[in-house]
Amino acid sequence: MAGNDLSAPLGLGKRRYLNLPLGLIGAGLATVLVTTALVWIGVVEDPLGGEPMATVPLERSVDGLSSRDFGVVEIRPSLENKGQNGTGSPGETNEPLGPRFEPKPPTETENGPHPAKVAVSGVGGLSFRPDARLIEPGPHGPMPKVSDGGLRPLDIYARPASQTYTAVPKIAIIVGGLGLSQTSTQAAIERLPADVTLGFAPYGASLDRWMQHARRDGHEILLQLPMEPFDYPDNDPGPHTLLVSHNTKQLNERLSWLLSRMTNYVGVMNYMGARFSATDTSLAMLLEGITERGLMYTDDGSSSRSKAEAIAKGLRTPFSQADLVIDDVPRPAEITARLLQLEGTARAQGVAVGVASALPVTIEQLSAWSKDLEERGLQLVPISASIDRTSR
């Protein structure tokens, strides 16, 4: 009896063990093994599997060009650069980690607009990354140049003007002084029509960021160059002002600093500079350098003594000149009157150019004025569409 009493619970335990769902348990174990194997294969196929990875904006890259111009590049530690403990941690490497930086410039074309002018973000947007063929390293940063194939920054960065109504009078508006005030700059970029050209001062902060913002919104860009007025230095345009006393070397040195402040602009426009623009030798040196770099020159029309048009014609510099300043008197009624005057000029000569500052009242008036411009039989165009209008 005693032996039978002891064997009874053992038999019951055995039967319970045999009744467990062994099939489900086996299937679960198999699934875990297969999943582990797949994960392991995935890791083994990537020699850097499990290594730390970071995506960061680089401040400077090859040939003196800012990587901000080409977007964000990826940095990952290589097997060769692992530290002595084999972890590959950036703080323990024997050699600095290098970026995998391979900008691919667009293919050069012979006919028609370059693909870089095609919209890249949103309706009417323009490319905000500089074309690598149109940049060369300078002493102060990247500078514009004509490509080996003869393409100019003016050709690539210009905003295409609508050719739907070729006989319609055209108006180009330039709003300058941008980059100095964040509020004014943002308002001008976001509130003004894309065909309004924006002029940036070389002294502004975050010019590259503002350039990208403006180009994404479709605006053509000019870089303003400070030039010597008659009452200099009492009236000083700022550091690196171009002076009539400069020889060729001194002028080129200051010009190289100014031109490297930003990229993707179609040309330059004077800031002040009544004396400089009235001096043949100085202005000729400037326009020759501008022409060689494939840029246009715009005279803001503020000085009646400017010789820019005649010298530009002799050097074959792409040229345009403003007909009037829109906000000389920054009051709504006065700005409206100036805009009506500009419309009359456009109807009389086919193309008219007006310049203005990025004042809140100016931006407000321009925004309202432009809304029904086409209904009044006029077309707003970028400044590049007004080049050499006197020869048309």
Segment 305-345, tens digit of pLDDT: 999 999 999 999 999 999 999 999 999 999 999 999 999 99
What the block records as the tokens of 359 is 């004042």
Q: What does the alpha-carbon distance between residue 127 and residue 118 come to, in Å, rounded to a whole number?
A: 7
Confidence at residue 326, expressed as pLDDT on a 0 to 100 scale: 98
What the block records as the tokens of 336 is 């409206």
Rounded to the nearest integer, the mean pLDDT of the chain is: 79
Q: What does the alpha-carbon distance between residue 189 and residue 196 come to, in Å, rounded to a whole number?
A: 9
Confidence at residue 39, expressed as pLDDT on a 0 to 100 scale: 56
Tell me, what amino acid is at 327?
D
Tell me, what amino acid is at 368?
A
Cα 203 to chain centroid distance, Å, stands at 16
Give per-residue pLDDT as tens, 342-369: 999 999 999 999 999 999 999 999 999 9
Confidence at residue 48, expressed as pLDDT on a 0 to 100 scale: 46
Give per-residue pLDDT as tens, 102-161: 333 333 333 333 343 333 333 368 999 999 999 999 999 999 999 999 999 999 999 998
In order of 103, 260, 274, the CA distances from 69 in angstroms are 10, 13, 34
57 or 79, higher pLDDT:
57
Res. 30 pLDDT band, cuts 50 70 90 = confident
171 touches 156 (CB < 8 A) = no
Confidence at residue 29, expressed as pLDDT on a 0 to 100 scale: 74
Which of the residue ranges 91-105, 138-152, 288-302 would you say has the lowest mean pLDDT? 91-105
Residue 182 has pLDDT above 50, yes or no: yes
Res. 19 pLDDT band, cuts 50 70 90 = low
Confidence at residue 111, expressed as pLDDT on a 0 to 100 scale: 32
In order of 20, 58, 187, 304, 306, the CA distances from 254 in angstroms are 87, 27, 30, 26, 21
Confidence at residue 311, expressed as pLDDT on a 0 to 100 scale: 98
Residue 162 has pLDDT above 80, yes or no: no
Q: What does the alpha-carbon distance between residue 152 and residue 147 come to, in Å, rounded to a whole number?
A: 7
Look at residue 211 and give its three-state secondary structure: helix
Residue with tokens 């980690």: 97
Q: What does the alpha-carbon distance between residue 296 and residue 313 come to, in Å, rounded to a whole number?
A: 12
Peptide bond into 106 cis (omega under 30): no
pTM, entire model: 0.70
DSSP per-residue letters across 142-154? EEE---TTS--HH
Strands 141-144 and 135-138: antiparallel
Give per-residue pLDDT as tens, 214-271: 999 999 999 999 999 999 999 999 999 999 999 999 999 999 999 999 999 999 999 9
Look at residue 282 and give its three-state secondary structure: helix
Beta carbons within 8 Å of 343's beta carbon, 6+ residues apart: 169, 171, 352, 376, 378
Confidence at residue 12, expressed as pLDDT on a 0 to 100 scale: 45
Q: What does the alpha-carbon distance between residue 138 and residue 256 come to, in Å, rounded to a whole number?
A: 7
Return the percentage of the chain with pLDDT > 90, whole number.
65
156 touches 336 (CB < 8 A) = no
243 touches 228 (CB < 8 A) = yes
Q: What does the alpha-carbon distance between residue 378 and residue 243 come to, in Å, rounded to a whole number?
A: 39
